[in-house]
Amino acid sequence: MSTGNVTKFEQLMKTAHPKVQQAAQAGEISLHKAWRWRDLSPEEQLNELHLDQAKKGTKRTVRQLIRTHVEKRSPTPPTPRTLGDLLRGSAIAESRELDSIAVIVINVPGSIAFLTQGAMQTFGALEE
């Protein structure tokens, strides 16, 4: 904890509305944001807190609605279950496009291939 944060905390304990103090301690708002409100009246501090909470709630709801809408409008194609499924039955194995996909071996247990979105798009373009 820096000296500046200790000073901000001490000032908040003297000047901030109790609900603003609670929100800062709970991590709902940053210490710096609460400290910036310290010179406002208690009513103005509460108003800022409520506005901030409303903005966060609105942003969360909008993100959730957009995510749901996008998922409904553009379902993702089924992901191949194995590398064999990905390569089987197509001209992909003979394509020079595969040379653009790097292979990196890592030492972890099990047999699994991690592919980036770009690699999957390359595979998808080759199948078309």
User: What pLDDT does 46 receive?
Assistant: 92
Angstrom distances, CA of residue 119 to CA of 32, 34, 86, 89, 102: 43, 46, 11, 18, 9
Q: What is the DSSP letter of 11?
A: H
pTM above 0.75, yes or no: no
Q: How would you class 1 by CB atoms within 10 Å of its CB: exposed for 0-12, middle for 13-18, buried for 19 or more? A: exposed
Share of the chain above pLDDT 90, in %: 23
Tens-place pLDDT, residues 38-87? 899 999 999 999 999 988 888 888 888 888 877 776 666 666 667 777 67
Q: Which amino acid is at 108?
A: V
User: What pLDDT does 36 receive?
Assistant: 92
Domain edges within the chain? 3-73, 83-127
User: What pLDDT does 117 receive?
Assistant: 83
Greater pLDDT, 128 or 28: 28
